[in-house]
Amino acid sequence: MMQPRTLLIAQVTDIHLGFEPDCPGEFNRQRLDRVLEELACLQPRPDLLIATGDLIDRGDRESYERLREAFSVIPFPVHYALGNHDARAPFAQVFPEAAFAEGFLQYVIDAPPLRIIVLDTLEEGRHGGAFCEARAAWLRARLEEAPDALTLIVLHHPPMEVGIAWMNTDPAEPWVERLAACLRGRGNIVGLICGHIHRAITAAWEGTLVATCPSTAPQVALDLRPIDPDQPDGRDLIVADPPGYALHWFNGRELITHWDKAEDRQVLARFDARLQNMVREMLAERPVAP
């Protein structure tokens, strides 16, 4: 029996390079380098890497140049999406090969067995997401080109609430319904992967799974209390947890997401002779493929 074709997608997000302007050794660059070094040596090697927005912090060309240099260590294809801290014009200057359509960074990656559609949810000057009718028309056209192809949607802003009040997407925002209308009723969407929240989160939305990736920059603190913008209460907003990334493994049937951190850790067990029988017994329980 032929094994289904698989795909391994690495994801990084919310890099915020240039948060410390004119500082090549800045904290966020050090964190990014730790993640990229880990991904570059990963076995099995990912088929591609997607960086899902907030690539830099202040929309400046110099930070995009440092970003390009940082990603040069990755030995497999790298693709980009834009977030609310990005700026299209300087990004396009540094990445002239980027696939803009109708003025937006939106494009298709053919990566059998998946078709990956990268969306642009940037509205410059706005923190939250945007998805205008022009972008919706482009997405509908791409989906209609291959209505049966298993498709992964990539965007910066998650289209659902996450419970962290100051970072939430309001489900009543018009862009959310516009995106939902494009995807509703399509049985070939295997999931959506996002950034923006600086945390690992999953949710069911419009009949499919949405997964957000932890950031390489510092993370957003987990606090599900309501927030009053007129009453500062001293809560934690940003914490320096280790830099994170995601691995999305498509096994030919489902999209499985793993999150990890680039950090030193204590190893408590290894696959050696002492644990060989345990591994053999576990694998022996599984059906043998015909």
Do residues 242 and 261 make contact, with C-beta atoms less than 8 angstroms apart?
yes
**Distance set, CA 212 to CA 157, 203, 244 (Å):** 9, 9, 11
Which one-letter amino acid corresponds to residue 96?
P
pLDDT in tens, 160-187: 999 999 999 999 999 999 999 999 999 9
Taking the domains of the chain in order of start, what are their residue ranges? 7-284
Residue among 174, 170, 177, 169 nearest 194 (CA) = 169
Could you tell me the pTM of the whole model? 0.96
Under CATH, which number does the domain 7-284 receive?
A: 3.60.21.10
Q: What percent of the chain has pLDDT over 90?
A: 95
Q: How far from chain centre, in Å, is Cα 246?
A: 7
Measured between its terminal Cα atoms, the distance across the chain in Å is 6
Q: Is the peptide bond before 4 cis (omega within 30 degrees of 0)?
A: no
Short-list 197, 194, 240, CA closest to 217: 240
Chain segment 177-226, per-residue pLDDT in tens = 999 999 999 999 999 999 999 999 999 999 999 999 999 999 999 999 99
Q: Contact, 89 vs 114, CB < 8 A?
A: no
- Quickly tell me which residue has 């002239």 as its tokens: 96
Output the CA–CA distances (angstroms, integers) from residue 21 to 165, 175, 281, in the order listed: 29, 32, 55
pLDDT digit string (tens) for 56-98? 999 999 999 999 999 999 999 999 999 999 999 999 999 999 9
Whether 3 has a pLDDT exceeding 70, the answer reads no
Each residue of 91-119: pLDDT tens digit? 999 999 999 999 999 999 999 999 999 99
Query: Could you tell me if 182 and 172 are in contact, meaning their C-beta atoms sit under 8 angstroms apart?
Result: no
